[in-house]
């Protein structure tokens, strides 16, 4: 059926939201962009497969509270999504509806209605970190007779030394490193493009210097990624998939030395381990929160599983710190609703 004017308008705004507004105004993080895109992919997929919506009958009421609540049930029952995942998807859809309402005042009621949908009750899951003994075993795992092993050691040392998020670490460029100052440090670009400075200990600096000389030469370019893709080179950052693959490989080796090493190790456990070790060593939770890049102190409390008594003590110390060009799918009203709206086709 031929697309209606309202359907074309909605498709245009979905396209503009994902490929213009979010990258320039909300976040430049590839993970954030992917999260918004996937949420809309799932919603459009639900409309198409569950409600029989297509380009000929797509209209504003497809984004009503009733439809959205049905979608959340569908996510849990048909897709097996956890309450946490449902809440993340809901937040992304709300962001789109807010964007839509600002640009088309007649659609504003949809955003207001969606904002009143209660979030699913989440179950707090404690993140499992690593003991200091396990970290030492992991650091001894990479084979230093190979180039890849030397790279991995530098990466793990830096990851543990700073407790940076993996995307923050992989997005780091040579120009963000300041190793020749009195207090060597790195400028980390965190969530929301917020920059924080992390100081580096001598061990991390020594490993980085050795790594930079071998992998970037005597005159590294400031715009080159510190840890780069083997296939693309310094102009492309190393993928998270590649890092996790190497971490699991080294974890298997380290486990033979220390049974406390998680065999399915992932980068977030190293970040959590460092934060826990800072706490064990007596560091102020406020300082830890800053180093982790948490906007709210409470986030760090939950993250580290802080007790109420520890929280009171901590608060008392406060006085003492992929494609840039996207085709306009609505010009072609043939095919699926996903293609019409310019989102990816939902995987079954």
**pLDDT tens digits, residue range 10-66?**
999 999 999 889 887 765 566 778 889 999 999 999 999 999 999 999 999 999 999
In this predicted structure, the answer to whether residue 323 has a pLDDT above a threshold of 50 is: no
pLDDT number for residue 293: 78
| Beta pairing partners, 196 | 188
In this predicted structure, the answer to whether residue 325 has a pLDDT above a threshold of 60 is: no
Mean pLDDT within 147-162: 92
Domain boundaries, the chain: 5-124+325-341, 134-267
Mean pLDDT within 213-217: 94
Candidate from 40-44, 216-220, 338-342 with smallest mean pLDDT: 338-342
pLDDT number for residue 44: 95
pLDDT number for residue 320: 40
Query: If phi over 0 gives left and psi between -120 and 50 gives alpha, with beta otherwise, what is residue 203?
Result: alpha
Q: At what angle do helices 285-292 and 267-280 cross, to 10 degrees?
A: 160
pLDDT number for residue 123: 65
By C-alpha distance, which of 97, 141, 129 is closest to 115? 97
Mean pLDDT within 206-219: 92
Of 287 and 116, more confident: 116
Mean pLDDT within 103-122: 92
Rounded distance between C-alpha atoms, residue 41 and residue 319, angstroms: 47
Rounded distance between C-alpha atoms, residue 328 and residue 2, angstroms: 16
Mean pLDDT rounded to a whole number for the chain: 85
Residue indicated by tokens 């780069």 = 228
User: Where do runs of H (alpha helix) occur along the chain?
Assistant: 5-16, 30-50, 65-77, 83-103, 108-114, 132-139, 147-162, 166-170, 202-216, 240-255, 267-280, 285-292, 297-303, 308-316, 337-341
By C-alpha distance, which of 108, 74, 104 is closest to 90? 74
pLDDT number for residue 304: 63
In this predicted structure, the answer to whether residue 173 has a pLDDT above a threshold of 60 is: yes
Rounded distance between C-alpha atoms, residue 203 and residue 184, angstroms: 11
In this predicted structure, the answer to whether residue 314 has a pLDDT above a threshold of 80 is: no
Query: Helix (H, G, I), strand (E, B), or coil: what is residue 2?
Result: coil
Residue indicated by tokens 């929301």 = 192
In this predicted structure, the answer to whether residue 236 has a pLDDT above a threshold of 60 is: yes
How far lies 195's CA from each of 65, 188, 192, 291, 324, in Å?
37, 6, 9, 11, 25
What φ, ψ does residue 333 adopt, rounded to 5°?
Answer: -90, 15
What φ, ψ does residue 177 adopt, rounded to 5°?
Answer: -90, 135
Architecture of domain 134-267: Orthogonal Bundle (1.10)
pLDDT number for residue 2: 79
Say what the alpha-carbon torsion angle 232, 235, 240, 245 is, to the nearest 10 degrees. 40
Q: At what angle do helices 83-103 and 30-50 cross, to 10 degrees?
A: 90
- pLDDT tier for residue 319 given thresholds of 50, 70 and 90: very low
195-216 as b/e, with b when 16 or more CB fall inside 10 Å? Answer: eeebebeeebbebbeebbeebb
pLDDT number for residue 73: 95
pTM beyond 0.85, yes or no: no
Q: Terminal CA-to-CA distance of the chain, rounded, Å? A: 24
């Amino acid at each position: 059926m031929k697309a209606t004017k309202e359907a074309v308008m909605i498709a245009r705004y979905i396209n503009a939201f994902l490929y213009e507004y979010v990258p320039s105004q909300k976040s430049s993080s590839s993970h954030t962009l992917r999260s918004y895109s996937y949420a809309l992919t799932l919603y459009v997929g639900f409309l198409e497969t569950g409600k029989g919506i297509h380009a000929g009958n797509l209209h504003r009421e497809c984004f009503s509270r009733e439809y959205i609540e049905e979608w959340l049930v569908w996510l849990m029952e048909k897709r097996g999504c956890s309450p946490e995942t449902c809440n993340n998807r809901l937040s992304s859809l709300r962001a789109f509806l807010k964007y839509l309402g600002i640009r088309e005042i007649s659609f504003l009621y949809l955003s207001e209605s969606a904002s009143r949908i209660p979030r699913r009750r989440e179950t707090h899951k404690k993140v499992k970190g690593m003991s200091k003994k396990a970290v030492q075993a992991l650091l001894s795992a990479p084979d230093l007779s190979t180039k890849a092993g030397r790279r991995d050691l530098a990466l793990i040392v830096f990851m543990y030394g700073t407790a940076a998020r993996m995307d923050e670490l992989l997005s780091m460029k040579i120009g963000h490193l300041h190793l020749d100052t009195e207090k060597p440090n790195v400028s980390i670009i965190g969530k929301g493009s917020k920059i924080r400075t992390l100081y580096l200990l001598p061990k991390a600096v020594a490993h980085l210097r050795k790594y930079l000389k071998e992998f970037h030469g005597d005159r590294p370019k400031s715009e080159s990624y510190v840890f780069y893709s083997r296939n693309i080179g310094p102009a492309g950052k190393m993928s998270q998939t590649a890092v996790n693959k190497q971490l699991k490989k080294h974890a298997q080796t380290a486990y033979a030395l220390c049974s406390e090493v998680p065999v399915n190790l992932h980068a977030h456990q190293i970040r959590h381990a460092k934060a826990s070790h800072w706490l064990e060593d007596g560091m102020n939770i406020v300082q830890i929160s800053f180093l982790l890049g948490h906007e709210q102190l409470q986030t760090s409390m939950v993250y580290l599983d802080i007790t109420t008594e520890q929280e009171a003590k901590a608060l008392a110390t406060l006085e003492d710190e992929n494609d840039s060009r996207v085709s306009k799918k609505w010009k072609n009203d043939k095919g699926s609703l996903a293609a019409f709206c310019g989102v990816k086709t939902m995987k079954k």
